Chains A and B, each alone.
Chain A
C-alpha cells in the first residue's frame, strides 16, 4: 500500500512566523487531504487537494501529483494554529481507506 511521510515531525514557531509542512507519498494519488487536529482531538479538514494550489485565509496548499508531494503553507501563524497537521491519501489497491501520515506537531508560542 501507499506510504505517506510528513516532515518535519515537530515545529516550534513564534507568533507571526511563516511555515511550510511537507507530505510525500509513495504512489500516484487522485486525492490528498490535509487535516488539523486541535488539542481537543478533533480533526478539521483543511484542504481536499488532489492537484494544484488552494488558499483559505492564511493557509494554502499545493499538491504536485507528478512528483508525489504536497505542501501546506501557514502564514502569520497564530497560537490557535497549534496542533498536529496530518496529510492523508487513498490507500490504493482497491482499498477505500485514507492512509494518514504520522503528522507534524506545530507549536506556536506567543
Chain B
C-alpha cells in the first residue's frame, strides 16, 4: 500500500511568485491535513480537508489556500510568496471518518520550499 505522496520534493521560488504543492493520500483515506514546519515555529497546522470541503483552518493569512479533489488528492497554494514562507510543507492523511484527531495521521516526506 503506497504511503502519502507529496510533489515536488524541492521548490525554489522568488518573492511575489505563487506556488502549488500536491499531496496524494493513502488509498482509502479521505482526510488530508497540511502543516508548515520551520526551525523557529516548529510544526503548525494550516488546514484540513475532507470530502472536498475544508473542515478546519489554522491561523495563517489568506495567501495560503487549498483544495481537495474527488479522489481525495489535495493541493495547497501560496500566493505572493514572502521570504518567511520558506519551510517544509507536510501533508498528512487519515481515514477521516470522525475527527482526524482521533485517528493516526500518516505523513508524507514533505515539500521543501525556499523563497529567495
Whether B88 contacts A96 by the Cβ 8 Å rule is no
Q: State the main secondary structure of chain A at its contact with B.
A: strand
* Chain A residue with the shortest CB-CB distance to B47: A97
B101 part of interface (Cβ distance < 8 Å): yes
In the complex, chain B residues whose CB is within 8 Å of the CB of A56: none
Chain B residues, Cβ within 8 Å of A108: none
User: Which stretch in B17-25, B65-73, B78-86, B102-110 binds the other chain?
Assistant: B102-110
What is the chain A residue whose CB lies nearest that of B110?
Answer: A41
* Residue contact B42 to A103, C-beta cutoff 8 Å: yes
Q: Does A102 contact B (CB under 8 A)?
A: yes
CB-CB under 8 A for A102 and B42, given A33-B105, A40-B109: yes
Interface footprint category on A: 20 to 34
Question: Does chain A have a CB within 8 A of B64?
Answer: no
A45-B105 Cα distance, complex, nearest whole Å: 7
Query: What is the chain A residue whose CB lies nearest that of B58?
Result: A97
Q: How distant is A95 from chain B, measured CB to nearest CB, in Å?
A: 7
Q: Is there an interface contact between B45 and A91, defined as CB atoms closer than 8 Å?
A: yes
A109 interface residue per 8 A CB criterion: no
Given contacts A41-B88, A103-B42, contact A90 B101 (CB under 8 A): yes
Given A96-B55, A96-B99, the answer on whether A45 and B42 have CB atoms closer than 8 Å is no
A residues in contact with B48, CB < 8 Å:
96-97
Would you give 14 A-B contacts (Cβ < 8 Å), ordered by A? A30-B101, A31-B101, A40-B109, A41-B88, A41-B110, A41-B112, A43-B92, A45-B105, A86-B43, A96-B99, A96-B100, A98-B33, A99-B45, A102-B42
Given contacts A48-B103, A96-B101, 13 further A-B contacts (CB under 8 A): A33-B104, A35-B107, A40-B109, A41-B88, A41-B112, A42-B107, A42-B110, A44-B107, A95-B56, A96-B48, A96-B55, A98-B45, A98-B101
User: Which positions in B face A, CB cutoff 8 Å?
Assistant: 33, 42-43, 45, 48, 55-56, 58, 88, 90, 92, 99-110, 112
Chain A positions near chain B (C-beta within 8 angstroms): 30-31, 33, 35, 40-45, 48, 86, 88, 90-91, 95-103
